[in-house]
Structure 1
Amino acid sequence: MNGSLQKIKVAFRIALRELRGGLKGFYIFLACIALGTAAIAAVNSVSMAITEAISSEGRTLLAGDIRFELDNREADADELRFLESMGTVSVSTGLRSMARLPDGSDQSLVEVKAVDQEYPLYGTFVADPDLPLSDLLAERDGVWGAVAAPLLLERMGMQVGDEILLGNARFRITASIVTEPDSISDGFGFAPRFLTSRAGLQSSGLIATGSLVEHAYKIRLDDQAMTTEQIRKQAQDQFPSAGWSIRGSDRAAPALTENIERFSQFLTLVGLTALVVGGVGVANAVRAFLDSKRTVIATLKCVGAPAAVVVMVYLIQITLVAAIGIGFGLILGAIAPIAAASYLSGILPISAEPTLYPRALLLAAMFGVLVTLAFAILPLGHARKVPATALFREQGFDTTGLPSWPYVLATGIALALLAALAIFTSEQQRIATIFLAAMAGGFILLRAVAYVIAMAARRSPVVHSAALRLAIGNIHRPGALTPAVTLSLGLGLTLLVALALIDGNLRRELTGNLPERAPNFFFVDIQGSEIDAFRTLVEGQAPEGKLIEVPMLRGRILELNGVDVAKVDVPPEGRWVLRGDRGLTYAQNVPENSAVTEGSWWAPDYTGEPLVSFSAQEASELGLKIGDTITVNVLGRNITARIANFRSVEWESLSMNFVMVFSPNTFAGAPHAWLATLIDGDATAAEEAAILRSVTQTFPTITTVRVKDALEVVDRVVGQLATAIRAAAAIALIASVLVLSGALAAGNRARTHDAVVLKTLGATRSMLIRAFTYEYLLLGAATAVFALIAGGGIAWFVLSQIMNLPSNFLPDVAAMTLALALVVTIGVGLAGTWRILGQKAAPILREL
């Protein structure tokens, strides 16, 4: 025991003495570790900053301690008394409608929110001018007050003081919205906010039977000790058929929180890719560093130092340097939330005050340590294996085979821990597992690609150009850069291609193909008394168009096979079906854009128990099968229906598709509105504007949504997400460049030896430059071809199998990738070898 401790002390002392000379040889090592660690620390720190802000400011974001939501109906007298018994209640009503100028010259979709005198219970509503909200929303001379988002004023060319029509009522814009405390908890909106009083909304005539309306009851509890679960249990026990959604301030914006966590996990995996790519750089840097220490290692072995001590010396050095790199990465990750706050403060609740998130930093540090160990141990094992006499004969560490089994085992353990950490810290463990398996497969495949390139070079015909012949020889000779270049650039370029193709296809779908296939308009909240006149108007305005109408209700899934959905374990991709209310309809025949995949459709005159047709993909995610039962709450009534069949649904068409379609007898006599779409592929922008104007003016209570306008909003959101994804991909590419630089540094001694010998035999500097350029050109082109194939395959899988969207190969992405690969490979390659071309021959020749 004392002997082992003494060896560690000696090794530590030698390691520290050697580090006095600086970190030369470790700069790329530092950069690779710092970059990957910083990416993971930054992504998780920003994510935690947002989610913790949502949690800590939950009351303000919810504008209450707890929120009860009812769709398409208000609470009855008994329900309202129950809510008021718990504390102060603030009621708000939300819906989408069309706001229009009094002269009928323009109109716009708006997100209407009607509030009472108690709003907001928490937080502060700020307007410009900043007057009491009750004064801003008051009625004066038959005109109701309203506060609008600046975007609405800009879009319709209005100013504060102008009048606007909503439904059948007239409103005056009394101020513009500066801060709406609970806007995030209300969910993502496709249109600008229009805030008025509940009395003003009631006068508009927009609230009718079957209208898509959300009524929110926010409560400031008298008994702050009551938990959300206690209140939920009381509400369900007393009103089992109410069908309300209950949310506490601890989950003020669950959809936003879940999406942020999911997106941060994706970026963490991309950051892990950068870190693992950097791990290849770590291996190259360690090999290059040990190669530069040949004489020191040989001397230590010759004076009697055990091989274990020699390995320990350099393991200590590598660990200390890695700690410095990880420290730099953690510092960058720690300040990331402060930097992000300046960009996100107007959109998301994130504080600009300095705050550390130890869990995020610890996770990044653990990834950094495990990557360092996983990629540094094998080069150390090779150094231990080489005898001192071989080192004195100028042989390096390019040994074949594996080091002794303890080093292989230690590397395997480090890689297993790395994979376990990535999987078990991810909410979507299946995706993380697939991601890591793909990365491991990519390593193996890239090694195979390197072997194929070398074999092709070995078997290539003899060429007349001496420079090209030398380049081809360099590709397949022992100690060639082929494996290192292929591996370093391959992963980074593959990730870049995959993300670029996914982004490009999404944008192409949103701005090109999808608008061509999608309806021109959605018409919502068409009352039964209006449907005939509405049909006549639209058919007259668009005689060549196709008008499709379906009955429309809203309902919330409460139980699956008699089990409360809150107790059902559902994978993340299927939770959206159970969150909030869903659009429902009934039909005698199979809807368009659908096909029965399992089971059978009901007869047109069916009168038995309620039946439902469920979307096949969503049913699979929920674990449903034919014959299972689903309980939904519609207009305060619980309805249990049995699954009769599954349907394939073309969600990407943006047509009228429903997760659930019921047999007509299920809702016999139930009041409902109608939903309609208009498809007219030949309609011009002017004709669409005329249709929009005619419908809005004739039927002011019908909400008209122009699909292209909604797609533009989605395209902006996708663009913002794509920016973050490109930044993460850029980090991986930078890591690849660093790894390539490290690979060149690791081979510099052999390159110097080759250059000196060739120059002695008569080769000129220009010929050597051409030879190196040809070599890097061939390697870069081969790697780019692999990246295009592999990245294209990944993009196809994500788009077609996960997103259910068409996948197309984009030539501009191919050209960009090829150009980038060549520029990076040739540029970095020549930068790394330029110095050795001027190396003096005498010192090198004396060592031969």
Structure 2
Amino acid sequence: MSLTWRMFWRDFRAGELTLLIVSVVLAVTVVTSIGIFAERIRQTIFSEASSLLAADYVLSGSRAIPEEWFEFADERGLEQGQTLSFQSMLFGETSSQLGALRAVSDSFPLRGALEIADSPFVMGDEVEAGPPPGEIWLTSRLFPLLNVEVGDYIGVGATELRVGAALIREPDSSTGVFNVQPRALMNLADLPATQAVQPGSRVTYRWLLAGDATQITELREQIGDAIEPHYRWRSARRANENISGALDRAESFLLLAGSLAVVLAGVALAMSAQRYAGRHVETVALLKTLGYPPSRIIRLYGVGLLGLSVVGIAIGLMLGEAIHRVIIALLGDLLPANLAMHGWQAYGLGALTGFVSLMGFAWPPFYRLRDVPPVRVIRSDVYQQPKLLWQLWGTLGVLVIVYLYSGDAMLTLAMVVGGAFCIWGASMFARALLWVMRRFGSRFGRNWRLGLASLQRHSQQNGLQVVIFSIALMLLFTLTLIRTSLLSEWEQQLPEGAPNHFVYNVFEEDLPIVDEWLNQYAENESPAYPLTRGRLIEARGVDIDTLTEDLPDRSDFVRELNMTWSPEYGSDNVIVAGEWWQDYGQGDLLVSVEERFATALGVQVGDRMVYSVGGLDIEATVASLRSLDWESFNPNFYMIFNQPLQDGAGATYLVSFFLSNDNKVALNTLLRQVPTLSVIEVDALIEQIQGIIAQVTLAIEFILVLVLASGLLVLVAGIQSSLDTRFRESAVLRTMGASASLVRGTLWVEFGALGALAGVLGAAGTEAILFYLQGNVFGMETRWHPLLWLIAPLSGVALIGTVGVLSTSKVIRTPPMRVLRSWV
């Protein structure tokens, strides 16, 4: 212990340990700060997403929730609430209106908040609970329809309730979207007095749950298959198709960013550890001449590395916490006010990263120091450090950490494949390209000759640096391009003027009135789609119950579907198999089926499908399969037919459009002209989704900055590992009369060439990783990036050249005599 302390303290004062400690601190700091920040943002995003359900999980169905299920939840300490949704007439003094009522328990909502006001069509204040008994809250449009004000009484079934407030916004306004307009909210305790719910009434029961995910999972397992076929689970992540994709991609990105930070930190540590171990070969040889056995040398460096890991991890954890707080302070109002707290996992992962990285990269070369022969004291050629062992051992350690961080084996595998490609490419091409540069670049002057000669002379070392630089560039390019693709897709998902209202229950004779109103007040209206309800009962000659008995989401196939017929398909539909019909309304009945729906049932073009529509069985031939963008707010359908079903009898029409807030009141004009219409307002939902996506975007921007910063530090660590050689070469050149400008130009050529080669290999590795990530992790369109092959080499030259020259400026400033004396 005493010798270890003296030796490591001497190295620390001499600056020998500086790079190694900084690398450990860097690894722990980067992983901890990104882990804490990403975890808080992720938990905040998911908390916001929970407001789309007003809970973490919801069980909804057409039957009342069994009482024993409530007891199961109480036993696990879960928060719970209930809502009942149904339609009923609401009666004012002079008018009446069919409304969608929800009776809610006192605990509603479990997540999010309600927004109410003293008058309609104004900004409201947030409240954490629903109406008390005896009150009813009405959405703004109901006030002019019923000709009432706050404080008046309205009739609901067999009782009267006082209008307590204008309901401006509900946290789960997207739930049951085709049955919630215009809406009213009442207390569950008032429901029996209304007598509005009778046997045979169409009621939707919802059981709201919030709490620990493990306890909810246990509850779901205890209930088991008893929910079939009358109930359906929904999670906050799956509250809406439009936001689930964004959340999945955001989480994948955060995991990817954190994983890349782990790899970058490990690379920096690997280079500094190898340099430190190499500088101790002579020390170990000297110790052996003094009689130290190999076992004592192992203990000597093992205890020292353990002490370094404790110090580095402690400093890194504190810096990680401090940096994450600085980031939050700098962001200020850009972050949500209710930013979620983080757990201990980020600290544990940071500590594990420091320990595994240090032992994985530093311990193997130090362990092999026991094999250094004593004769190394006088002969430098009798022992060379083994490189393959520490590379493989350290890489394995980093990959284990990446897997523990991401929990995604495929994501880890993709990074392994991309990194292996860079290593393989460097080993195959680096020396060849360096030789080509040396052969043809020498014609351009002394700087080029000296710089490229240095590359050729140290081709083995430079080959390793090319691998390191190319991996760093590959990770940075991957993160940047994934970020760009995600933001681009989210912007396309919710463009300006996206439909925020839907009108349905439009009869054919009312279409002219609706069209006239749309032309006056609305924008971006869709065609009027005819709607009819039907159920698929047979496909490919097999009944639907048999086809879906093994499907996990069976209820999606056996339920009634909204179906339409049209001469054209939507702008966000793509024909992936078969052909669209040319002659609309003629010939046999044809159907175009959504691709995933058809794939789950094994349906292909040319198969026959049988539907039950209005009590009659209708047979159609599959003419095409379509992929749909379910994340858009355009009307989309699983089934589109080439002609009206049952001659269009009983069909109503659906129209979507964008309506600005200034024209909101105009909806009442339309409803007075056509009282049978139903209007769906999704603008509040769009606002929620846009807010969540804005938070995700902000998290991506700042995590990208952190990873870019760690990438630059990796480059500095790589350059610092070769400073000894560069000091000697510079001293020789300066002694022979070379000027400082010549040495500087030589460094520019050397690092610029390294950067160009690393950029080419990094671009190749980036394309390989992106090809997998875009198609299999983020669910995006896979495509090549030709511009990357131009930007990557230029970025490598600019980035590595600049950082390399700045990091080696000490080589130029140090007097040659000082270097030569220390060398001798």
Instruction: State yes or no: 1:722 paired with 2:658.
Output: no
CA shift for structure 1 position 580: 13
Alignment-derived partner of residue 6 in structure 2: 17
Cα distance in structure 2, aligned partners of 1:839 and 1:346? 47
CA shift for structure 1 position 454: 1.9
Instruction: State yes or no: 1:183 paired with 2:175.
Output: no
Contact 2:547 2:601 in 1 (8 A): no
CA shift for structure 1 position 368: 4.2
Contact 1:527 1:673 in 2 (8 A): yes
CA 1:807/1:390 → structure 2, altered by over 3 Å: closer, same or farther?
A: same
CA shift for structure 1 position 763: 0.8
CA 1:475/1:720 → structure 2, altered by over 3 Å: closer, same or farther?
A: farther
Amino acid at match of 2:31: T
CA 1:169/1:347 → structure 2, altered by over 3 Å: closer, same or farther?
A: farther
Alignment-derived partner of residue 808 in structure 2: 833
Alignment-derived partner of residue 674 in structure 1: 653
CA shift for structure 1 position 285: 0.6
Instruction: State yes or no: 1:91 paired with 2:71.
Output: no
Instruction: State yes or no: 1:35 paired with 2:20.
Output: no
Instruction: State yes or no: 1:742 paired with 2:734.
Output: no
From 617, 632, 637, the equivalent of 1:658 is 637
| SS of residue paired to 1:305 | coil
Instruction: State yes or no: 1:501 paired with 2:495.
Output: no
CA 1:659/1:277 → structure 2, altered by over 3 Å: closer, same or farther?
A: farther
Alignment-derived partner of residue 439 in structure 1: 419
Amino acid at match of 2:446: A
Amino acid at match of 1:675: L
More divergent stretch after superposition (271-280 vs 420-429): 420-429
**Bigger relative CO (Cα 8 Å, ≥ 6 apart):** 1
Cα distance in structure 2, aligned partners of 1:614 and 1:510? 26
| SS of residue paired to 1:459 | helix
CA shift for structure 1 position 753: 0.9
| SS of residue paired to 1:547 | coil
CA 1:425/1:27 → structure 2, altered by over 3 Å: closer, same or farther?
A: closer
Alignment-derived partner of residue 290 in structure 2: 303
CA 1:185/1:281 → structure 2, altered by over 3 Å: closer, same or farther?
A: farther
CA 1:86/1:603 → structure 2, altered by over 3 Å: closer, same or farther?
A: farther
**Structure 2 matches for 1:321-332, cutoff 5 A?**
321-331=308-318
Cα distance in structure 1, aligned partners of 2:300 and 2:380? 21
CA shift for structure 1 position 728: 3.3
Cα distance in structure 1, aligned partners of 2:30 and 2:549? 38
Alignment-derived partner of residue 438 in structure 2: 458
CA 1:815/1:460 → structure 2, altered by over 3 Å: closer, same or farther?
A: closer
Cα distance in structure 1, aligned partners of 2:131 and 2:775? 52
The superposition leaves residues 501-522 of structure 1 with CA deviations (integer Å, 9 ceiling, x where unpaired) of 3443455566579969x98787
CA 1:14/1:362 → structure 2, altered by over 3 Å: closer, same or farther?
A: same
Alignment-derived partner of residue 563 in structure 2: 585
From 491, 512, 516, the equivalent of 1:533 is 512
Cα distance in structure 2, aligned partners of 1:644 and 1:724? 45
**Structure 2 matches for 1:699-778, cutoff 5 A?**
699=671, 701=677, 703=679, 717-778=692-753
**Structure 2 matches for 1:235-634, cutoff 5 A?**
236=228, 240=229, 242=230, 244-246=231-233, 263-307=250-294, 309-331=296-318, 351-352=340-341, 356-358=343-345, 361-377=347-363, 379-380=365-366, 383=369, 387-390=373-376, 392=378, 402=386, 408=389, 412=392, 415-416=395-396, 419=399, 422-423=402-403, 428-448=408-428, 450-478=430-458, 482-508=462-488, 523-528=502-507, 532-533=511-512, 536-537=515-516, 547=527, 549-551=529-531, 562=545, 568=551, 584-587=562-565, 591=569, 593-595=573-575, 597=577, 614-617=593-596, 620=599, 622=600, 624=602
| SS of residue paired to 2:507 | coil
Contact 2:108 2:129 in 1 (8 A): no
Contact 2:607 2:621 in 1 (8 A): yes
CA shift for structure 1 position 613: 5.8
Cα distance in structure 2, aligned partners of 1:357 and 1:616? 43
Contact 1:616 1:647 in 2 (8 A): yes
The superposition leaves residues 532-563 of structure 1 with CA deviations (integer Å, 9 ceiling, x where unpaired) of 33575379779999835242659999x99648
Cα distance in structure 2, aligned partners of 1:270 and 1:646? 40
Contact 2:100 2:181 in 1 (8 A): yes
Q: For the aligned residues, what is the CA RMSD?
A: 6.2
Cα distance in structure 2, aligned partners of 1:806 and 1:761? 55
CA 1:134/1:273 → structure 2, altered by over 3 Å: closer, same or farther?
A: closer
CA 1:509/1:26 → structure 2, altered by over 3 Å: closer, same or farther?
A: closer
Cα distance in structure 2, aligned partners of 1:480 and 1:366? 32
Contact 1:561 1:629 in 2 (8 A): no
Cα distance in structure 1, aligned partners of 2:333 and 2:548? 34
Contact 1:39 1:271 in 2 (8 A): no
Alignment-derived partner of residue 60 in structure 2: 69
**Structure 2 matches for 1:37-186, cutoff 5 A?**
37-38=31-32, 41-42=35-36, 45-46=39-40, 67-69=58-60, 79=63, 90-91=82-83, 93=85, 115-116=102-103, 118-121=105-108, 128=125, 134=131, 146=139, 168-169=145-146, 183=171
Amino acid at match of 1:376: A
Cα distance in structure 1, aligned partners of 2:129 and 2:596? 50
Contact 1:281 1:738 in 2 (8 A): yes
Contact 2:32 2:317 in 1 (8 A): yes
Alignment-derived partner of residue 205 in structure 1: none
Q: Percent identity?
A: 17
CA shift for structure 1 position 831: 3.0
Amino acid at match of 2:431: Y
Amino acid at match of 1:357: W
Cα distance in structure 2, aligned partners of 1:489 and 1:689? 53
Amino acid at match of 2:27: I
More divergent stretch after superposition (317-326 vs 377-386): 377-386
Contact 1:585 1:658 in 2 (8 A): yes
CA shift for structure 1 position 827: 3.6
| SS of residue paired to 2:206 | strand
Amino acid at match of 1:745: Q
Gapped runs of 5+ residues in structure 1? 1-11, 96-111, 147-162, 203-212, 679-684
CA shift for structure 1 position 271: 1.9
**Structure 2 matches for 1:200-215, cutoff 5 A?**
215=204
Cα distance in structure 2, aligned partners of 1:691 and 1:53? 32
The superposition leaves residues 229-272 of structure 1 with CA deviations (integer Å, 9 ceiling, x where unpaired) of 66675564xxx4x4x4346xxx6666589976874454233322
CA 1:654/1:453 → structure 2, altered by over 3 Å: closer, same or farther?
A: farther
CA 1:843/1:305 → structure 2, altered by over 3 Å: closer, same or farther?
A: farther
Cα distance in structure 1, aligned partners of 2:650 and 2:182? 28
Cα distance in structure 2, aligned partners of 1:823 and 1:193? 59
| SS of residue paired to 2:527 | strand
CA shift for structure 1 position 13: 5.2
CA 1:307/1:450 → structure 2, altered by over 3 Å: closer, same or farther?
A: farther
Cα distance in structure 2, aligned partners of 1:711 and 1:81? 31
Contact 1:14 1:313 in 2 (8 A): yes
CA 1:397/1:493 → structure 2, altered by over 3 Å: closer, same or farther?
A: farther
CA 1:640/1:554 → structure 2, altered by over 3 Å: closer, same or farther?
A: closer
The superposition leaves residues 183-237 of structure 1 with CA deviations (integer Å, 9 ceiling, x where unpaired) of 3796799xx99974369xx9xxxxxxxxxx995534799xx9995566675564x
The superposition leaves residues 431-479 of structure 1 with CA deviations (integer Å, 9 ceiling, x where unpaired) of 4433332233333334445334423223224235222221122222226
CA 1:530/1:743 → structure 2, altered by over 3 Å: closer, same or farther?
A: same
Length-normalised TM-score, structure 2: 0.68
Amino acid at match of 2:814: Q
Alignment-derived partner of residue 9 in structure 1: none
Alignment-derived partner of residue 104 in structure 1: none
Alignment-derived partner of residue 185 in structure 2: 197
CA shift for structure 1 position 759: 0.9
CA 1:328/1:89 → structure 2, altered by over 3 Å: closer, same or farther?
A: closer
CA 1:656/1:195 → structure 2, altered by over 3 Å: closer, same or farther?
A: closer
CA 1:419/1:334 → structure 2, altered by over 3 Å: closer, same or farther?
A: same
Alignment-derived partner of residue 217 in structure 1: 206
CA 1:278/1:416 → structure 2, altered by over 3 Å: closer, same or farther?
A: closer
